[in-house]
Amino acid sequence: MDQNNEPSLTGAETRRNFIKKAATAAAVVAATNPFKTPVYGQSSAPSAGRVIGANDRIAVGYIGLGGPPSLTDCPAMGLAHVNSQKSHAGENNIVQAAVCDLYKTRYEHARSEIGTSDVVGYDDYRRLLERKDIDAVLIATHDPWHAQCSIDALQAGKHVYCEKPMTRYLGEAFQVYDAVKRTGKVFQVGSQGCSAAAWHKAAELIQGGKIGKLVWGQGYYCRNNPKGEWNYRIDDGATPETLNWNMWLGPVHKKVPFNPDHFFRWRKFYPYCTGLLGDLVPHRLLPLMLATGSPEFPKRVVCTGTKPVGTDRNTPGALERDVPEHIELLAEFPSGLTLTIVSSTVSATSPGFVIYGHQATLKIGDAGNRLELVPERPFADEIDPITMDGLEPHEDVGVHEKNWFDSIRANKKPNADIELAVRAQTVISLAEMAQRLNMTCLFDEKTRKITDGSGKEVKAITYGTLELS
């Protein structure tokens, strides 16, 4: 039998049992402690994986492939990574060994894009992780599978690049954090702005006291899509017969029959995504937190979300989204710093990236390769203005991927490492709670407890907590 078309390792019945057990475990855990999501595979010791030297070639597998590429307006994040890494395979000294997606059309397209006969396609990520020759995996599934795929990959001895957001819910983020610490593997979140030079230069200036005490910072990611953001074209080839719908749903509590709108436009629906908070906000939040030089867990988070336009009506047949079209997030940190992020799909004019200090202000622009320091008026005689243009590297996925590979070889932390990632995910998850539950979320990083403005403890939301989860 052609190895690229092998049947699932344990057969359909075992896979159904896997999903059934996962759902049962998730329900039991959610009822007791939402910070203890089910972790499959922890019953055995983690695999050490191969020790990779400075000159060793890294074998990479891809889980979740987006697309297919023939549908140019479909999400193709996973496939974009395949193509990016193919373009730089020589300089990064990698081999693209395997691809996985539960929709065969996608992994066959990815195999074709890579263009080598020995790349293997799978419809079950667990089979890919059993490959001892694979050193690292890139995870670009939809959000409910980020945590489980990451944990299982780490447990199997693989280094992990996981697309943003780090996880769907907060409890999962700490499970991934624990897995990274337990295994010692390199973990990078796909917020490529973290590899742009301007943010690192900003951190140097801030840590060097050049702008005085940090006061606040602002970021944005705004678009304007009259037809409704994420209303990607639907591939008629996706049917219950051509993909494993129950596997795709995974830990999601609200099980629905196969729905192509959910499969291709999943970012619109709460069971699978937080919308702007999960898709666009991480691209701005993580670099801003990195620029402080010492990222913190949040102390207090509030968030508003609205649907002022109702753009889904402009795409024939599109379901109305659960998630907002516009959000505004405000996070306070123990040091006294506050960060505000604005993200929109219905208004693209944006305020810019600015970090305000007591003595000076930093402005970051041009995809992270421009930085300007502007003294505050009372300190203009003490602090010289600075303008840096042409800083490299700028914000680029390929640069961020290279940072991951370099970190694997040097056994060092990557630019969007687990410490930054778990803190940013805490902000994102608390913002979702604040917006959906109409509350202010206060967080104690020592106990990981969440309270509302009155001091009442509130359990973190997870699968099954809300109707749309």
The pLDDT value given to residue 67? 58
Question: 136 in a domain, yes or no?
Answer: yes
95 and 223: one domain? no
Q: How many residues does the chain have?
A: 469
Same domain, yes or no: 182 and 204: no
163 and 224 fall within a common domain: no
User: Within this chain, do residues 365 and 217 fall inside the same structural domain, yes or no?
Assistant: yes
**Contacts for 123-127 with beta carbons within 8 Å, 24 or more apart?**
123/8, 123/244, 124/8, 124/9, 124/15, 124/100, 124/247, 125/63, 125/100, 125/149, 125/152, 126/9, 126/152, 127/6, 127/8, 127/9, 127/100
Answer yes or no: is pLDDT of 26 > 90. Answer: no
Cα separation of 51 and 170, whole Å? 31
- Let me know whether 136 and 225 are in one domain: no
**pLDDT at residue 37 above 70?**
no
Do 26 and 463 touch, CB atoms closer than 8 A? yes
pLDDT grade, residue 345 (50/70/90)? very high
Task: Please indicate, yes or no, whether residues 22 and 157 belong to a single structural domain of this protein.
Answer: yes
How many other C-beta atoms can be found within 10 angstroms of the C-beta atom of residue 445? 13
For residue 13, is pLDDT > 70? no
At 186-202, the pLDDT tens digits run 999 999 999 999 999 99
- For 388, the token pair is 């840096």
Looking at residue 74, the DSSP 8-state letter turns out to be S
Residue 361 lies inside a defined structural domain of this protein: yes
Same domain, 147 and 114: yes
Taking all residues of the chain, what is their mean pLDDT, rounded to a whole number? 90
Phi/psi class of residue 88: alpha, beta or left (left: φ > 0; alpha: ψ in -120 to 50)?
alpha
Same domain, 173 and 304: no
Domain boundary among 191, 218, 238: 191
Longest CA pairwise span in the chain (Å): 76
Q: What is the C-alpha to C-alpha distance for residues 389 and 114, in angstroms, rounded to an integer?
A: 36
13 and 143 housed in the same domain: yes
Position 123 confidence tier, pLDDT thresholds 50, 70, 90? very high
Q: Please state the pTM of the whole predicted model.
A: 0.90
Mean pLDDT, range 399-420, rounded to an integer = 98
Residue 170: pLDDT over 90:
yes
Q: How many domains does the chain have?
A: 2
With bands split at pLDDT 50, 70 and 90, how would you rate the model's confidence at 35?
A: very low
Residues 149 and 34 in one domain: yes
Asked whether the predicted pLDDT for residue 133 surpasses 60, the reply is yes
Q: Where are the alpha helices (DSSP H) in 158-301?
A: 170-183, 197-207, 245-249, 260-264, 276-279, 281-291
Structural domain contains residue 64: yes
More confidently predicted of 32 and 311: 311
5 falls in which pLDDT band (50, 70, 90)?
Answer: very low
Whether residue 214 sits in one domain with residue 162: no
Which tens digits make up the pLDDT trace of 294-322? 999 999 999 999 999 999 999 999 999 99
- Range of the structural domain that residue 70 is part of: 3-191
3-state secondary structure of 302: strand
Q: Are residue 149 and residue 198 in the same domain, yes or no?
A: no
The residues pairing with 442 across neighbouring beta strands, listed in sequence order, are: 300, 451
* Span 357-391, pLDDT tens digits: 999 999 999 788 999 999 999 999 999 999 999 99
